[in-house]
Amino acid sequence: MTIKTSIQNLRQWLDSQIVGQPHLIDRLLIALIADGHLLVEGAPGLAKTKAIKTLADGIEGDFHRVQFTPDLLPSDVTGTDIYRPESGTFEFQSGPIFHNLVLADEINRAPAKVQSALLEAMAERQISVGRSTYKLPELFLVMATQNPIEQEGTYPLPEAQLDRFLMHVKVDFPNAEAEREILRLSRAESRHTEVAKLEHRVLQSELFSARAEALDIHMADAVEEYIVQLTQATRQPEVYSADLRRWLEFGVSPRATISLDRCSRAHAWMKGNDYVSPDDVRAVVHDVFRHRLILTFEAEAQGQTADKIIDEILNCVPIA
């Protein structure tokens, strides 16, 4: 079985377990292949936890959930040195972040110092305690969740930290047909019957080969230029349209450009193509830019959203 087939099988299986949320599943797989982290926003009960848990069942790797609360400490996430009286020495006790898949639930419920401990670890892929540094596993994906309906008693993530997420994904309610299917599935699960099994757990070595293949996919100069121009349009909106100039306060960072390249490649790879097309770029740009744009006061007052602004950018920026 090729790597592509085994990842396609994984996707099919995930689609059968998490009904009517193909976008979330697609983005989880892109994050795995593009080697980045996801921020997921959605109301309670939309299978966010189930999605990453099921993914952990489908690949070779372990899973851990951290509930973010106001009293959480940075060391509760990263780990800390513990004194061992037997030997009279300190020993590092690794925290819950030392897992392959980490669910950081309700990340905006913990204060800034805890958020920044997590986000720094996500970017650096290591933890420093005292004079030692500890490497996080090579397969390391954080899915952080945010609840859009409750704002009270929360600590919104600063823009600079949001930049560390490869993508910001929004999860919506399933439609009526999916809702019926969810009921059927949930009953079957409670009865422990007819739940589909995955034949082959995807190995870490397969994921790493997939990453290498995606990095090697051909990208024409015109597509690369398109990615650069999309970024430029967020920084020099006046060149493109008067509306954009009024709506955009700040554009996206080079990290966004790199993320757009990585995600477009992963998207093309999963389609089975050996080249990246402008359609791959357009398919991922909303999730890559959404959390990185800073809107003007005027845009907020007019009810403009980052998504509408990205639509406008796509309208304005031509493909060479």
Ligand X SMILES: Nc1ncnc2c1ncn2[C@@H]1O[C@H](COP(=O)(O)OP(=O)(O)OP(=O)(O)O)[C@@H](O)[C@H]1O
Q: Which residues bind Mg ion (CB under 5 A)?
A: 49
Check residue 44 for interaction with ligand X (CB under 6 A): yes
Q: Which two tokens stand for residue 65?
A: 């959930």
The residues in 49-68 that bind ligand X, with binding defined as CB under 6 A, are: 49-50
Q: Which residue lies nearer to Mg ion by CB, 45 or 85?
A: 45
CA distances to 34, 44, 52, 109, 248 from 58, in Å: 18, 24, 10, 29, 41
Burial 30-46 (b: 16+ CB within 10 A, else e): bbbbbbbbbbbbbeeeb
Residues contacting residue 202 through CB under 8 Å, at least 6 positions apart: 6, 7, 10, 58, 59, 60
138 vs 189, beta carbon nearer Mg ion:
189
Determine, following the binding rule CB under 6 A, whether residue 303 of this chain makes contact with ligand X. Answer: no
Between CA 263 and CA 140, with CA 65 as vertex, the angle to 5 degrees is: 35
Nearest to 61 by CA among 30, 101, 97: 101
The residue nearest Mg ion at its CB is 49
Note whether 70 binds ligand X by CB under 6 A. no
Check residue 12 for interaction with ligand X (CB under 6 A): no
- Applying CB under 6 A, among 186, 205, 209, 302 the residue interacting with ligand X is 186
Piece of 45-53, 150-158, 228-236, 287-295 that binds ligand X (CB under 6 A):
45-53
Q: Residue from 3, 14, 19, 219 that binds ligand X (CB under 6 A)?
A: 19
Q: Which is nearer to Mg ion, 49 or 204 (CB)?
A: 49
CA torsion 216-217-222-225 (nearest 10°) is -50
Point out which residues bind ligand X (CB under 6 A). Answer: 18-21, 44-50, 174, 182, 185-186
